[in-house]
């Protein structure tokens, strides 16, 4: 299929340093080959050349003053990738590793993820290389205000609605919302993940993690299995990891690990969720402090696993939930998981498995739910927050959670049906990419050359 090959070659030349974006684009485009063979009209409309090119990318300078009175400078980004299905929607990431390539890969993934939800949202993403670690509350507030002082002119409830991602939670959304309101004089649903007393949706904080577990449950149901009594590995210790662990307990499973950038925690009796929440949501402390209350648990500092792999993925279990960051699970890790009997992987994070790791999972034909399908519950519930804001309502938890369950089941069904349609019934990567792409591409064709 020269069409796919040529587009990837052109991307390699035009985006030489954007390796994560290239990785994400290659995965999607390679999956589309059988679709293009059946439906040449996507080629006739130059759809893939158009879909890999963001509609707009905004880069800006952020100047703010630290507690010592020194002026600090960071880079800010917002990518408005594709608006065929609705206003741009996607999170903001504050992490020192953020580059324009990181935001581009996340924005690209977001297009297809948002399409899979079946809700009217386009794809966008943003963030900064700002490092929230070790900053005071005042510093976080001044940074968020400075960030929004530029971003506010590019966003709006019907144009582009940012939310949280790594390093951006309820506190940061609050400071950014306050600054948006001050600058525009408008109280409107321009961000999601807001506080429950000022426009937030009940259940949004929990939605990504809960959704990833619902997705695992859907995959297991198709195999006649459940999560009940299963030992589960979770990486990360942030928003997605914490609520994955919470839902796993509700399903009768036993999550035995979590991790942060400094190390991995293994508690064979099951992670103490209350303590984890206190350490991470309240004290913002290292996971090592967990041992003060549970000396029988094991803590393995990052990089100190004897064989050089990621310690989380070397423990015997049934299911795994990567919920930290991109490329945190390598081919060696994938092999270790398979050797240890893991037969279900549901990705809470965005692109946590390297391309080689994904290949291992697909070859093994285990239940593998790629991030753009398995973690779509977060953005889907963000859209429910937008719906509540525009109708000036607040829905009860039961209603939000029922909708989340239904959306995750629909996503699973679409991925499985599409995989089946293309003759690879266990390949949900193929199913997710073709099903998401078709919706966006068809809408782009309907809307003409714009």
Interface with ligand 2IT by CB under 6 A: which residues? 89-91, 110, 113, 163, 165, 192, 350, 378-379, 382
Closest contact distance (angstroms) between CB of 239 and ligand NDP is: 4
Out of 125, 205, 247, 403, the active site residue is 125
Closest contact distance (angstroms) between CB of 283 and ligand 2IT is: 24
Among ligand 2IT, ligand NDP, none, what binds residue 90 when CB lies within 5 to 8 Å by partner kind? Answer: ligand 2IT
Q: Which residue's CB is nearer to ligand NDP, number 260 or number 318?
A: 260
Contact 189, 383 (CB under 8 A): no
Length of the chain, in residues? 450
Greatest CA separation found in the chain? 63
Alpha-carbon distance of 121 to 87, in angstroms, equals 5
Among ligand NDP, ligand 2IT, none, what binds residue 192 when CB lies within 5 to 8 Å by partner kind? Answer: ligand 2IT
Among ligand NDP, ligand 2IT, none, what binds residue 65 when CB lies within 5 to 8 Å by partner kind? Answer: none
Q: Is 239 in the site for ligand NDP (CB under 6 A)?
A: yes
Among ligand NDP, ligand 2IT, none, what binds residue 319 when CB lies within 5 to 8 Å by partner kind? Answer: none
The residue within the footprint of ligand NDP, chosen from 348, 369, 370, 431 (CB under 6 A), is: 348
Name the region of 69 (left: φ>0; alpha: ψ -120 to 50; beta: rest): left
Contact 143, 74 (CB under 8 A): yes
Beta strands in 315-437 (DSSP E): 319-321, 344-346, 367-369
Q: Which residue's CB is nearer to ligand NDP, number 348 or number 436?
A: 348
Contact 250, 218 (CB under 8 A): no
Q: Is 140 in the site for ligand NDP (CB under 6 A)?
A: no
Contact 380, 85 (CB under 8 A): no
Q: Which residue's CB is nearer to ligand 2IT, number 169 or number 425?
A: 169
Among ligand 2IT, ligand NDP, none, what binds residue 433 when CB lies within 5 to 8 Å by partner kind? Answer: none
Closest CA to 437 of 109, 15, 152, 107: 109
Is residue 80 within a helix (H) or strand (E), and if so which, with residue range? strand 71-82
Alpha-carbon distance of 394 to 326, in angstroms, equals 34
Alpha-carbon distance of 442 to 222, in angstroms, equals 29
Q: Is 312 in the site for ligand NDP (CB under 6 A)?
A: no
Alpha-carbon distance of 237 to 321, in angstroms, equals 12
Alpha-carbon distance of 114 to 126, in angstroms, equals 15
Closest contact distance (angstroms) between CB of 355 and ligand NDP is: 16
Closest CA to 46 of 7, 15, 11, 83: 7
Q: Is 237 in the site for ligand NDP (CB under 6 A)?
A: yes
Numbers of helices and strands, H then E, in the chain: 17, 13
Nearest position to ligand NDP, beta carbon: 238
Q: Does the annotation mark 125 as catalytic? A: yes
Q: Is 164 in the site for ligand NDP (CB under 6 A)?
A: yes
Q: CA end-to-end span of the chain, whole Å?
A: 26
Among ligand NDP, ligand 2IT, none, what binds residue 167 when CB lies within 5 to 8 Å by partner kind? Answer: ligand NDP
Could you tell me the two tokens for 79? Answer: 């990518």
The residue within the footprint of ligand NDP, chosen from 220, 312, 342, 349 (CB under 6 A), is: 349
Chain position carrying tokens 């390093």: 167
Q: Which residue's CB is nearer to ligand NDP, number 324 or number 416?
A: 324
Q: Is 20 in the site for ligand NDP (CB under 6 A)?
A: no
Q: Which residue's CB is nearer to ligand NDP, number 226 or number 261?
A: 261
Alpha-carbon distance of 247 to 250, in angstroms, equals 5
Q: Is 261 in the site for ligand NDP (CB under 6 A)?
A: yes
Q: Is 263 in the site for ligand NDP (CB under 6 A)?
A: no
Among ligand 2IT, ligand NDP, none, what binds residue 238 when CB lies within 5 to 8 Å by partner kind? Answer: ligand NDP
Q: Which residue's CB is nearer to ligand 2IT, number 381 or number 426?
A: 381
The residue within the footprint of ligand NDP, chosen from 324, 334, 337, 415 (CB under 6 A), is: 324
Helix 19-38 with 2-14: angle, nearest 10 deg: 160
Q: List the catalytic residues.
A: 125
The residues binding ligand NDP (CB under 6 A) are: 95, 97, 164-167, 169, 208, 236-241, 260-262, 323-325, 348-350, 375, 378
């Amino acid at each position: 299929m020269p069409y796919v090959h040529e587009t990837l070659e052109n991307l390699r030349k035009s985006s030489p340093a954007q390796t994560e974006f290239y990785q994400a684009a290659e995965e999607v485009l390679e999956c589309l080959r059988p679709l293009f063979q059946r439906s040449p009209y996507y080629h006739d409309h130059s759809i893939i050349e158009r879909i890999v090119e963001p509609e707009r990318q905004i880069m800006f300078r952020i100047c703010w003053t630290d507690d010592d009175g020194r002026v600090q400078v960071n880079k800010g980004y917002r990518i408005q990738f594709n608006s065929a299905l609705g206003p741009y929607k996607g999170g903001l990431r504050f992490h020192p590793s953020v580059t324009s390539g990181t935001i581009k890969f996340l924005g690209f993934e977001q297009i297809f993820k948002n399409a899979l939800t079946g809700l009217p949202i386009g794809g966008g993403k943003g963030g900064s290389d700002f490092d929230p670690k070790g900053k005071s509350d005042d510093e976080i507030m001044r940074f968020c205000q400075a960030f929004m002082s530029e971003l506010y002119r590019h966003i709006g409830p019907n144009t582009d609605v940012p939310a949280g991602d790594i390093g951006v939670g309820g506190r940061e959304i609050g400071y950014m919302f306050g600054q948006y309101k001050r600058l525009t004089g408008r109280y409107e649903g321009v961000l999601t993940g807001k506080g429950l007393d000022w426009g937030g949706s009940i259940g949004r904080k929990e939605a990504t993690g809960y959704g990833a577990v619902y997705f695992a449950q859907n995959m297991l149901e198709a195999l006649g299995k459940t999560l009940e009594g299963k030992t589960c590995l979770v990486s990360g210790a942030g928003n997605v990891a914490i609520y994955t662990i919470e839902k796993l307990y509700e399903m009768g499973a036993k999550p035995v690990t979590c991790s942060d950038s400094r190390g991995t925690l293994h508690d064979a009796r099951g992670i103490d969720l209350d303590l984890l929440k206190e350490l991470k949501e309240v004290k913002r402390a290292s996971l090592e402090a967990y041992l003060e209350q549970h000396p029988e648990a094991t803590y393995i500092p990052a990089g100190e696993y004897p064989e050089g792999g990621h310690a989380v993925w070397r423990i015997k279990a049934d299911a795994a939930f990567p919920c930290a960051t991109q490329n945190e699970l390598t081919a060696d890790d994938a092999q270790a998981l398979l050797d240890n009997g893991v037969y279900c992987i549901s990705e809470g994070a965005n692109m946590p498995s390297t391309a080689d790791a994904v290949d291992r999972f697909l070859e093994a034909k285990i239940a593998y739910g790629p991030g753009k399908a398995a973690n779509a519950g977060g953005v889907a519930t963000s859209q429910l927050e937008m719906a509540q804001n525009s109708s000036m309502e607040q829905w009860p938890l039961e209603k939000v959670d029922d909708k989340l369950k239904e959306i995750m089941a629909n996503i699973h069904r679409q991925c499985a049906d599409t995989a089946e349609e293309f003759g690879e019934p266990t390949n949900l990567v193929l199913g997710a990419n073709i099903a998401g792409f078709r919706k966006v591409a068809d809408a782009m064709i309907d809307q003409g050359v714009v």
